[in-house]
């Protein structure tokens, strides 16, 4: 993901994306203290790279506890075998509070492994 700074620079950060009912969901592994998360919350321009193409996206907070739980389960299913320690960070209560969905890139489930 790329997030624009106030001075116009872009910074890139890897993100882990999971698909829930055809929607892409992400989290900040470091919770609300992450700089990219704070910039997103301040409405900074945000893009994701899908197959080498940078697409502008909007991130919408997820407040539904059931969906937040499903996102945690999806992180376990998708990443736990390869990355058990980082998955524990991604499903922590602090990270779960930063669950967001990508809202304007259309149907992405076929793009996500």
Q: Is residue 20 situated within a structural domain? A: yes
Q: Is residue 56 situated within a structural domain? A: yes
Domain interval for residue 37 = 2-101
pLDDT, tens digit, 9 for 90 and up, residues 9-59: 999 999 999 999 988 999 999 999 999 999 999 999 999 887 788 888 999
Domain count, the chain: 1
pLDDT, tens digit, 9 for 90 and up, residues 85-103: 899 999 999 999 999 999 8
Q: What is the pTM of this model?
A: 0.85
- β-partners of residue 55 are 48
Pairing between strand 46-50 and 53-57?
A: antiparallel
Q: Which of 46, 90, 43, 44 is nearest to 68 (CA)?
A: 90
DSSP-derived 3-state class of residue 54: strand
């Amino acid at each position: 993901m790329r997030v624009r700074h106030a001075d116009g620079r872009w910074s890139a950060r890897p993100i882990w994306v999971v698909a829930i009912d055809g929607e892409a969901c992400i989290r900040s592994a470091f919770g609300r203290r992450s700089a990219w998360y704070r910039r997103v919350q301040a409405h900074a321009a945000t893009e994701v790279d899908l197959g080498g193409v940078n697409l502008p996206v909007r991130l919408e907070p997820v407040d539904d506890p059931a969906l937040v739980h499903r996102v945690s389960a999806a992180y376990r299913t998708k990443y736990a075998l390869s990355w058990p320690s980082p998955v524990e960070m991604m499903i922590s209560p602090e990270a779960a509070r930063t669950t967001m969905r990508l809202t304007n890139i259309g149907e992405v489930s076929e793009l996500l492994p």
